[in-house]
A and B are shown apart, each in its own frame.
Chain A
Amino acid sequence: MRDRVWILAGLAVFVAVITLPAWTRLATLRQSRSPDLVLPANQKDCVLPASQMRATHMKLLLQWRDDVVRKDVHTFKAYDGKVYNMSLTSTCLSCHNKTEFCDRCHSYAGVSMPSCWDCHLDPRLAAGGAK
């Protein structure tokens, strides 16, 4: 086979490229880090336990959305009995900082947020006056 050299060379290039992420990370001798989340300073309890929030916060937000917009129900009783106003901006974002908490985990996990932020506002950004 005249082409053996080319085929083997091509295969070698392919394998090198496909494993690039693995051996570049090894080569830099860097530890992979979990996302550097900044937790709220003044509140320890969320509306659900942290493990449940991690797993189902999106479902909860959709439930809140339908309750507030379509059913005119505004209050939510948390697992610890506390009553919260169902609002992404005034409840969730009053404790959590979007850029230091939400965005960090989402970009680490590579999970893009749905188009909520096309309309809903981050109060810290909005307070600046401009977009």
Chain B
Amino acid sequence: MQLSGGSLLALLGREAATALGSSPRPDGGQGQAASAARQYAMVIDSRKCRQRPGCTKCLDACHQAHNVPYIEDPGRKVDWIWEAPAQDVFSGQQSPYIQITLKNEPVPVLCNHCEYPPCVRVCPTGATWKRETDGIVMMDWHRCIGCKYCIVACPYGARSFNFLDPRPYIKHLNAEFPTRREGVVEKCNFCAERLAEGKLPACVEACPENAMIFGDITDFHSEISKLLRARDTIRRKPELGTQPNVFYIV
């Protein structure tokens, strides 16, 4: 994007309008035609997840497909999808009187690809942006300056920073996907590269219980839309106004 006086004014005007809440999708590219604008979303049925205690197939599939390093130090961990106890995932729901399953059962958590992503708002270089065509919050590791402002802004802790060179910590290198380098932030990308080939995200495909349903929620007839209409679902921290696109059946 070239910076000229006129384009800066136009940019500022557009940004001001966006800031006032008119459009939730700041354009990271050169302006895609929004005629086929989708919003990919996911429903995770944590009841089905609970049928298999100790199962980590979705985590393993994702981390294998994307060369995510396995780092033992919890402070330096890099996760695109991981498990956390339900009472931490759905904070604010804690009570000694509610069902025990909502307390400690592991629930998969990942980037919510929010409708109004705070991480996109704060990125100074546009290294993360919400794609107009399908609503995925993308990462561009060529542009990321490693300021970590997006990690600070994310209310869900969905992002990880590469404190170290990840290569030595990758169990099995997948040549079809690049690794990242020290100093950049990474997170789940809804398997954009697999979606481009017509495949489902790796975690969805790997789940033996079919607990994860993925699709376009703007399509009335998609499986995920039908599921959302049929079942009660909750989302993480809905009061923050981010409009997350990962729904949970608990």
Contacts and interface: CB of A to CB of B under 8 A. Distances in A.
Do chains A and B stick together as partners? yes
A4 interface: no
Interface string B194-210: 00100000000000000
**Interface of chain B, main secondary structure:** loop
Contact of B175 (A69, A71, A123): A123
A121 B173 contact: yes
Interface residues of A, number: 20
Given A89-B178, A123-B175, A129-B173, A70 B29 contact: yes
Interface stretch (B72-80, B87-95, B134-142): B134-142
B175 A70 contact: no
Given A65-B142, A71-B30, A119 B178 contact: yes
A65 to B, nearest CB: 6
A80 to B, nearest CB: 24
B123 to A, nearest CB: 13
B181 A72 contact: no
Contacts of B50: none
B172 interface: yes
Contacts of B141: 119
A72 B173 contact: no
A131 B166 CA distance: 11
A41 B134 CA distance: 40
Contacts of B131: 72
B196 A131 contact: no
B28 A70 contact: yes
Nearest to A128: B173
Interface string B148-191: 00000000000000000001100011111111110000000000
Interface residues of B, number: 27
A121 B142 contact: no
A72 B29 CA distance: 9
A65 B140 CA distance: 10
Interface string A117-131: 011111100110111
A8 to B, nearest CB: 53
A63 interface: no
Interface in A64-108: 65, 69-72, 74, 89-90
Contacts of B172: 129
A97 to B, nearest CB: 14
B242 interface: no
B249 interface: no
Contact of A131 (B134, B140, B168, B192): B168
Given A72-B131, A123-B175, A131-B167, A118 B32 contact: no
A119 B30 contact: no
Nearest to B30: A71
A74 B192 CA distance: 11
A126 B171 CA distance: 11
Nearest 10 pairs between A and B by C-beta?
A: A126-B175, A123-B175, A126-B173, A119-B178, A118-B181, A71-B29, A120-B178, A70-B29, A121-B175, A69-B140
Interface of A: 65, 69-72, 74, 89-90, 115, 118-123, 126-127, 129-131
Given A70-B129, A71-B32, 11 more contacts: A74-B196, A89-B175, A89-B178, A119-B181, A121-B67, A121-B175, A121-B178, A121-B179, A123-B176, A126-B174, A131-B168
